[in-house]
Amino acid sequence: MITEIKQLAQELQETLIANRRHLHANPELSFQEFNTSAFVKTKLDEMEIPWKAIANTGVVGIIRGEKESDRVTALRADMDALPIVESNTDSYASRNPGVMHACGHDAHTSSLLGTAKILQSIKSKFGGTIKLIFQPGEEKLPGGASLLIKEGVLHNPSPQYVIGQHVSPLVSSGKVAIRKGKFMASMDEISLRVIGKGGHGAQPHLNIDPVMITAQLLVAFQQIVSRKANPSLPSVLSFGKIIANGAFNVIPDEVYLEGTFRTMDENWRTEAHAQMIKMATAIAEGMGGCCEFNIVRGYPFLINEEKLTGQIQSAAEEYLGKENVIETDIWMAAEDFAYYSHQADSCFYLLGIANEKKGITSSLHTPTFNIDENALAIGSGLMAYLAVKQLGNV
C-alpha cells in the first residue's frame, strides 16, 4: 500500500500546490475563515466526501472504508491565518492586506485535502472510519479545537486516535520530527496595569513612579521561573509589550504590560499564577502604588500518547525511511491541538518544510515565512498511510 499511496500523492502534487497557493493568497483571520471553509466544502464535494459544518466555519468530513471495521481515526488541519503583513513577493502572496498564512495553516489544509483524496481513492482497500477535521481559530483563544470538542467532534463516531501535523522550518523538507510524551507547552496571556502617580520627572519625590515599580516587577517575576519552579519542569515567562506613556520629563500615571506564561504541568501552572499575582501586589503596594493583574488561561500542554506515538514513528519510518524520521525536543510554543490530546490518544508531529538551497528558512510567524512545496505530497501521503495503519489495515 505504501507504493500505491506514494504514487497517488505524487500525482496530486500540482493540485496540492494549486490549493495551497489559493489558500495562501486568500488568508482569513481566526473564526473568520468563511471563504476558506467554503473552499474546503467545495473540494470535499468534488471528491464525493460527505461533510458537516461545525463551530460556524469548521468542517468535518467522513470517509468510510468498505471493509468491515468499527475503528475510527481522526485527522486534523487548521485553517486560520495571522495578522501579519506579508513581505514575500511571490505571485501567490497574500491579497488581504495585513493578513498572512505565516504559520503554515494553508499547507495543513491543502495537505489534508490531499490525504482525503488519497483515502477516498483507496477506500475499497481498508475498513474503518476516518474523520477529517478542518478546524478554525487555532491562533486565537479560546481555540477552535475547544469549540469543536464542545460541539461533539469527538463523538458520533468517536475516534480512538487523533493525528495532526504542523509544518516546521527547523526540519528539512522530506523529513518529519516526532516526540513521545509531553511535547508542547500550555499558554496563558498575562496583562498588568501598574498604577502610580505621575508628575514632573525633576520631582520624583512628589510622584509614585510606575515605571520603577514595573522595572522591579520584571526582574522579580523571573524568580517564578528560576527559584519557584522545579528545575526539571520547563517554564517560560516573557513580556513582549510595555507601554509607559510619559515623556522625557514626564513620569506617567500608569504602565501597561502584556506577556505570556508557558509550562507543562497543570498544578504548577495554577500555583505560578497565584505566585505572580501575590508578588506583583506586594511589590507595587510596597512602593506606594497598586497593580491590576489579569490572566487569561489559554491552551493546556500537548501530550503525545506514548504507545500511539511509537506506532506513528514506526509507520513514518516505513513510509519515509528511518533516516527521515527524527526525534525532536520539547517545543515551548502552544497549540490548541492540545485539547484533543487531553480527550483521546493523540499524536502531533512536525512536517519538515525547510530548504536552504531554495532560501526557505524563515521562522514561523514572520513576514517572510514560506514552505518547500514538495513537502505537501509528503505530508498528504504520510498522513494517509498513518490513517490506514492505525485502522489496522496494513
Could you give the residue numbers annotated as active site?
80, 138
List, edge to edge, every strand of the sheet that includes 290-297. Answer: 235-243, 254-263, 188-195, 290-297
Determine the Cα–Cα distance for residues 140 and 142; give it in Å rounded to an integer: 6
| The three three-digit cell numbers of residue 341, written as one number | 490530546
Determine the Cα–Cα distance for residues 61 and 137; give it in Å rounded to an integer: 18
One-letter amino acid for residue 97 of the chain: P
How far, in Å, are 158, 204, 215, 231 from residue 238 at the CA level?
38, 29, 14, 17
Other CB atoms closer than 10 Å to residue 131's CB: what's the count?
Answer: 21
Determine the Cα–Cα distance for residues 126 and 129; give it in Å rounded to an integer: 9
Task: Burial-class residue 192 by CB neighbours within 10 Å (0-12, 13-18, 19+).
Answer: buried
Could you identify the residue written with the cell 522545579? Answer: 230
